[in-house]
Chain A
Amino acid sequence: AQSVAQPEDQVNVAEGNPLTVKCTYSVSGNPYLFWYVQYPNRGLQFLLKYITGDNLVKGSYGFEAEFNKSQTSFHLKKPSALVSDSALYFCAVSTLGGYQKVTFGTGTKLQVIP
């Protein structure tokens, strides 16, 4: 069985400061890892994914994530947070890209303080 853990329900960061949203995963086989963002009463928007290759993945809106196989982590990062980044962030894992079901973490609410 595959699983994702997002240990923080909420992360607060001051505008302009770097942000990190944590994610760890458990899966049999090679992981496909995703980050999505959700704004209130909206669907999920794709940010970035890791399939293979470079451990540092760059995505939309200046976000990036680092795949660490030894620590089974895929933390989301951004060098300088914006107030508009405030939203709910989901980490997800699959074993065959999106062709098989994707398991989501419980989500982390990011609050960027002006």
Chain B
Amino acid sequence: GAVVSQHPSRVICKSGTSVKIECRSLDFQATTMFWYRQFPKKSLMLMATSNEGSKATYEQGVEKDKFLINHASLTLSTLTVTSAHPEDSSFYICSAGGGTQYFGPGTRLLVL
């Protein structure tokens, strides 16, 4: 199947700082990518749909000014958690694809 990468795999930051997470489709072009958040032992919560060349579509309850998404090319989408707080600590996963969504390995964010 298609390969999706994420970077970094793990990040620890201080409260109040911003963190950028990259999601790349390695062997295909993706006009649409999805960002999810997963809490321990919980399902994936869709945060937003990232659209290449246009604004992201956020799910209800997700703060667009806090979770900035940029999809500047057909192979790269970035999620920036701005002014991170401990409650933002989570596992963030991106996906991309057409008929089947392929997932990145995830990014573990810990905000101290």
Chain A residues close to B by CB (< 8 Å)? 32, 34, 36, 41-46, 49, 51, 90, 97-99, 101-107
Distance between A65 CB and nearest chain B CB, rounded to angstroms: 14
Does any Cβ of A come within 8 Å of B25's Cβ?
A: no
Candidates A36, A42, A97, A101; contact of B34 at CB < 8 Å: A101
Q: Is the CB of B43 within 8 A of A105?
A: yes
Candidates A34, A42, A106; contact of B106 at CB < 8 Å: A42
Q: Is the CB of B93 within 8 A of A43?
A: yes
Q: Is the CB of A49 within 8 A of B100?
A: yes
Q: Interface residues of B, CB < 8 Å — how many?
A: 25
7 contacts between A and B (CB under 8 A): A44-B44, A46-B1, A51-B99, A97-B98, A99-B32, A102-B46, A107-B42
Q: Is the CB of A98 within 8 A of B104?
A: no
> Which residue of B has the minimal Cβ distance to A34?
B100
Residues of B within 8 A of A90 (CB): 43-44
Give Cα distance in the complex from A98 to B94, angstroms.
13
Does any Cβ of A come within 8 Å of B49's Cβ?
A: yes
Residues of B within 8 A of A101 (CB): 34, 46, 49
The answer to whether residues A98 and B98 also contact, given A43-B6, A106-B42 and a CB cut-off of 8 A, is yes
